[in-house]
Amino acid sequence: MRPKVLVTRKLLPDALAYLEEYALVEGGRETGGLTRKELKQKIRDKDGLFCLLVDRIDREVISAGQRLTIIANCAVGFDNIDVQYARERGILVTNTPGVLTEATADLTWALILAVARKIPQADRFAKENRFTGWELDLFLGREVTGRRLGIIGLGRIGKAVAERAQAFKMEVVYHDPHRLADEEERDRGMTYLPLDELLSSADIVTIHASLNPQTHHLLSAAKLKLMKKTAILVNVARGPIVDEAALAKALAKGDLWGAGLDVYEREPDIEERLFRLDNVVLLPHIGSATYETRSRMAMAAARNLVQGLRGERPDNLIT
């Protein structure tokens, strides 16, 4: 008998067709997600689950999956899944690392430049036909070239962001629980700094850590206070790493020059005070959103799922 798979949200056609070759698939065609009640009910007779980062796959949902053998998350982050509980139940969990590194690093740079050079504000100004002539002080931003970039979380994406910084002749410092070997630091032209030192000295701070109990509110009100008044903070990782209310306060008071956010503490809700600030650029969690990358993510997750259902070790098993 073919295994049964639940797909929580609309899936790209190629990945859906691939899954359907091997399994009986429920879902994957409708825009919008399932309620928790629907999720718990539909998962009951499924062997595999294909989910997105917006689906909270906690103990309650996992226990409802009586026959579940694999959960394939279509994202590199997996803080939406109780991996430890899944493991206790002998259920495999997979993610999609690697395929979204470059797109997310590109988006990071788009945000850095958008904040530093006030791109969205200037675009609005021009479209409102308010450009009446060149002025020496029109939309003055912050120089990026040659400044100090602080990277928090040096995984694949953090490293790809650092590589792009070379083109901007930046001095790159990083903070991560795993320090690089001296030789790799030298090769990459990067210097390790303790978090407080990184925060107090960087001109641009960008976050690429994963969300876990150690990184929740890593950028608390107290840590944000360490940053230079002229600094820019960018977060494309996970919202709860930054205390969003404290960030809004710091931006409103001018304690921080600007911020670029792609992720939020309570997605899709955004701290209301941020809407009224001109020194923050907000994006709707689109770090990996290119046709090519999203297609690669969907296919990687679908392949992981099928491998798990076949009893093989999935390519991207979370261990």
Binding site for ligand GLV (CB under 6 A): 53, 75-77, 100, 287-288
Rounded to a whole number of angstroms, the minimum distance from the CB of residue 49 to ligand GLV is 17
Does residue 148 contact residue 203 with C-beta atoms inside 8 Å?
yes
Contacts of 223 (CB under 8 A, 6+ apart): 195, 196, 199
Burial of 36 (0-12, 13-18, 19+ CB in 10 A): middle
User: Is-catalytic flag, 267?
Assistant: yes
Nearer to ligand GLV, 114 or 263 (CB): 263
User: Is-catalytic flag, 238?
Assistant: yes
**What is the phi-psi region of residue 256: left when phi exceeds 0, alpha when psi lies from -120 to 50, beta otherwise?**
beta
156, 164, 188, 285: which one is catalytic? 285
Nearer to ligand GLV, 75 or 202 (CB): 75
DSSP 58-75: -HHHHHH-TT--EEEESS
User: Is-catalytic flag, 313?
Assistant: no
Rounded to a whole number of angstroms, the minimum distance from the CB of residue 286 to ligand GLV is 9
238, 294, 296, 303: which one is catalytic? 238
26, 171, 197, 267: which one is catalytic? 267
Cis (ω within 30 of 0) for the bond into 268?
Answer: yes
Nearer to ligand GLV, 100 or 274 (CB): 100
Task: Kindly report the backbone phi and psi dihedral angles of residue 262, in degrees, each rounded to the nearest multiple of 5, phi listed first.
Answer: -115, -10
Nearer to ligand GLV, 197 or 267 (CB): 267
Rounded to a whole number of angstroms, the minimum distance from the CB of residue 270 to ligand GLV is 16
**Of 102, 83, 105, which Cα lies nearest the Cα of 93?**
83
Rounded to a whole number of angstroms, the minimum distance from the CB of residue 305 to ligand GLV is 16
Residues marked active site are found at 238, 267, 285
